[in-house]
Amino acid sequence: MAFISHVPPLEGGNYRVWREKYELVLALSENDLALTFPCPTEPVDPVREENESDADFTARQRDHAEVRMKYDLERKKWDISNRKCLMVARSTISDAIRGSIPDCDTATEYLKKVESQFTGSSKAYANTLIKKLFNEKYTGGGIREHILKMSNTASKLKPMNLGLKDEFLIHLVFASLPKEYETFVVNYNMQPDKWDIEKLISMCVQEEKRLKSLQGDSANLMKAQGKAPQTEHHPKNNNTQVEKHKCKWCKKHGHYQRDCLDFLKNLLKRGIPYEEDPTKRRKKN
- Domain count across the chain: 3
- Residue 222 has a pLDDT of 52
144 and 109 fall within a common domain = no
Please report whether residue 139 resides in a domain: yes
CA angle at 223 for the pair 217 and 225, rounded to the nearest 5°: 105
Please report whether residue 197 resides in a domain: yes
- Residue 240 has a pLDDT of 45
- Residue 237 has a pLDDT of 47
Where is the domain boundary, 169, 190, 221? 221
148 and 52 fall within a common domain = no
Please report whether residue 272 resides in a domain: yes
Q: Residue 158 sits in which domain range? A: 121-221
CA distances from 3 to 21, 26, 80, 98, 198 (A): 10, 8, 17, 21, 32
Are the C-beta atoms of 207 and 181 separated by less than 8 Å?
yes
Q: Which of 150, 172, 85, 158 is nearest to 122 (CA)?
A: 158
pLDDT < 50 stretches in the chain: 228-229, 231-242, 283-285
- Residue 278 has a pLDDT of 58
